[in-house]
Structure 1
Amino acid sequence: MTTTLNQYPVLHGVADIRMETHPLPEIGRDEVLLRMSSVGLCGSDLSLVFKGSLGDYQLTPPLGIGHEAAGVVQVCGSDVTHLKPGDRVALEPGDPCWKCDMCRGGHYNVCFTSDFHAAPVPNPGCISRYYKHKAALCHKLPESVSQDEGAMMEPLSVAIHACRRAHVGVGSSVLICGAGAIGLFCLLAAKAMGATHIIMTDIRESALKKAKELGADHTLLVKGGEDGKVLADKVERVMGCRPSSTLECTGVPSSAALAIYATRSSGAVVLVGIGAEDVALPIFNAAIREVDIRGTFRYVDCYPVAIDMVAKGMVDVKPLITHRFEFQDVTKAFETLRRGSNVIKCVVSC
């Protein structure tokens, strides 16, 4: 490989994206150098670019952009045996130590020592001509799965992990609050994992129409500021039951309250969406009904499952890719994601 320079966008402040050129990164023995192919834009990327924050994480520039990614292996470190140059892979973001109690206990997504958990974006980001990554977190794509689909393995893995945390399985009744991108991925994952009764809420008719197209059994249009108990009764009337599992995908306090009120006793609420750092919730209601309120962060061993689901036709992520952009148009891609009412996923070709 004769290329010696790399190029990628860098966030230097709120809405301040600059394209920069740097030397190619040197890889370690357990790493691979990738020629990036496709990178999806995420709501967390959007929040960092235009708000400068994500939950309690505050932007510390300069910062790279992008973590939903697929690429092609160019060079392998000396200890890498399961990959070779030319392999197409989906990248699982993260840098766990594999040594702490969390990693050894199977919770590498909340590794004690990983900087990735404290700063939940890679730097430089995956929107890059070339990118180095731990080989163990590069998952080979079968020929039937495209690079664009490979980039969607990240949000699909988020959804699979959230469904697992919510105990979604065969015959589950599920409420999904929010029919944005991650809510729709949760819909696809829940159906593939056996849920038979799914209702989705949103403030947008267009989003609920898409949810119905993708297989939601019921939808419910909500308005900002509506009483959570009243909405919970509406959910029960529409579904014919209270959901056993609820995935809250908005991060909006009123939606989180609805999630708790609507979920049946001994059910589970998983907080998927990231909102304000401090939120008031009806905890006492959840406590006396033994409703579990659970957090979720990224994924644990979900990429192989996600890839298998797509390869076998159990999940079709292609309808969620609504807009595509060239590498040099990354700023336009973010503006489209922020302003577009019909945007689900933007994918940047690297």
Structure 2
Amino acid sequence: MTKKVLAAVKTDVETIEIREFDYPTVKPESGILRIEASGVGGSDPELYRKAGHVPVIMGHENVGTIEEVGEVAAKRWGVKSGDRVALHEYLPCWNCEWCMKGDFRLCMEVDFFNVKDRLNTDRFGMSTANKPPHLWGGYAQYMHLPLNTVMHKIPQDMPATHATLAVPFGNGVQWACLDGGAGPGKTVLVWGPGQQGLGCVLAAKAAGSYTVILAGMTRDQSRLDLSLRLGADYAINVETQDLEAEVMRITKGRGVDVVVDTTGDPKGEIVKQSIALAAKGAYLSLNGLEQQVPIGEIKKRYLTVRAPRGRSYAAVELALRYIGSGRYPIDQVCSHTFGLAQVHDAILATAGRGVQGAIHVCVEPWK
């Protein structure tokens, strides 16, 4: 009798059904991951309310134990049954220009900006559940691992919920440090105190940045407070404080060297403010899709502008070292856990709906 797997499937806008799937057959070039925890990413609420993107087993911040692994896959990944791993969501081709350069996050096979049908994008948590063997997301008891899976081995004693921060904190390392150059002597401004913004704060300070400033809103007060324990020197509530005046006071009128926007700039104001607060020669990581950048101001201030786009293997490796170091209050970042039957509530909590004080939310499928 075929073993069955339970999964939470998005079937409509903000609608989840628990469905049963067959346990996949393991081939020499594949494996099976027993999911311990799957973090709810900052992009999950957006995907959850997106019409037409169904059926999907969401969940892309995945941590678990290798249940079974084929001979070819075991050699490729350097793992065996019983090893614990954290995954990237990307399923890159490994033969294009970007993959060969080591920057698989830009592989055309995984880049949803370059495909017409995002259901067919090769990413965990985004690909259609209609595609056999169906288990492409972490909101399930088990996941299928194809040969092009990108994974990191984690210690046996690292809490699974902590390890799910590998992706958002890996983004923090990438955006603030590897791309932005945050480090000794630098002053860094981070917009947004979500899990990625907090990751930027931690990474920037760990890299030796002289001053790290986090900007948020009144509803974010608990996250702003937490940021001070993760490395922020200043946590500014933009609704009760004058951000520009505060930043210029802190930097003695010089401005900041690195800006990272993790909010998506929903009102289109962050681009303008970031440029106004930037020191000459600063690096700006600006978010959103419709915003416009004034080239004259960029030229005058000699700024470098780029948009945040995922993370590299090296960024996640470093993030996992920070997470497991014992130096940071990671338990306070991992604020809430939900069972498989509560995936709807978990995603809404990440969006600030239904549950107060949620920071990093996890789904534990066996809970």
TM-score by length of 1: 0.88
What residue is the counterpart of 1:162 in the other structure?
A: 175
Partner of 1:235: helix, strand, or coil? helix
Please give the residue correspondences for 1:81-92 in structure 2 after superposition, counting only pairs within 5 Å. Answer: 81=75, 82-92=78-88
Partner of 2:309: helix, strand, or coil? coil
Structure 1 position 269, deviation (Å):
0.6
**Distance verdict in 2 for CA 1:35–1:206, change over 3 Å:** closer
Structure 1 position 244, deviation (Å):
0.7
CA distance in 1, matches of 2:311, 2:237: 30
Deviations 1:193-213 (A, max 9, x none): 221201111122443223223
What residue is the counterpart of 1:75 in the other structure?
A: 68
What residue is the counterpart of 1:287 in the other structure?
A: 299
Task: Write out the 4+ residue segments of structure 1 that deviate beyond 6 Å after TM superposition.
Answer: none
Partner of 1:176: helix, strand, or coil? strand
Structure 1 position 134, deviation (Å):
4.2
Q: Which runs of 5+ in 2 are unaligned?
A: 128-135
1:122 has 2:117 as partner: no
What residue is the counterpart of 1:133 in the other structure?
A: 145
What residue is the counterpart of 2:223 in the other structure?
A: 207
Q: Is the Cα contact below 8 Å between 1:69 and 1:152 reproduced in 2?
A: no
CA distance in 2, matches of 1:341, 1:256: 29
Q: Is the Cα contact below 8 Å between 1:41 and 1:346 reproduced in 2?
A: yes
1:197 has 2:197 as partner: no
CA distance in 2, matches of 1:109, 1:294: 15
Q: Is the Cα contact below 8 Å between 1:268 and 1:291 reproduced in 2?
A: yes
The code of the aligned residue for 2:187 comes to S
Which of 290, 295, 301 is the aligned partner of 1:278?
290
Which of 307, 332, 346 is the aligned partner of 2:345?
332
What residue is the counterpart of 1:55 in the other structure?
A: none
Q: Is the Cα contact below 8 Å between 2:42 and 2:194 reproduced in 1?
A: no
CA distance in 2, matches of 1:157, 1:311: 13
Structure 1 position 32, deviation (Å):
1.8
Partner of 2:36: helix, strand, or coil? strand
Partner of 1:35: helix, strand, or coil? strand
Which of 330, 333, 357 is the aligned partner of 1:320?
333
Which of 60, 81, 88 is the aligned partner of 2:53?
60
Q: Identity rate of aligned residues, in percent?
A: 25
What residue is the counterpart of 1:106 in the other structure?
A: 102
Aligned CA-pair RMSD: 2.3
Q: Is the Cα contact below 8 Å between 1:91 and 1:139 reproduced in 2?
A: yes
Q: Which range moved further: 172-181 or 110-119?
A: 110-119
The code of the aligned residue for 2:173 comes to I
CA distance in 2, matches of 1:26, 1:290: 56
TM-score by length of 2: 0.84
Partner of 1:73: helix, strand, or coil? strand
Structure 1 position 62, deviation (Å):
1.3
What residue is the counterpart of 2:41 in the other structure?
A: 42
CA distance in 2, matches of 1:28, 1:294: 41
Partner of 2:31: helix, strand, or coil? strand
Partner of 2:43: helix, strand, or coil? helix
Q: Is the Cα contact below 8 Å between 2:105 and 2:111 reproduced in 1?
A: no
Q: Is the Cα contact below 8 Å between 2:163 and 2:323 reproduced in 1?
A: no
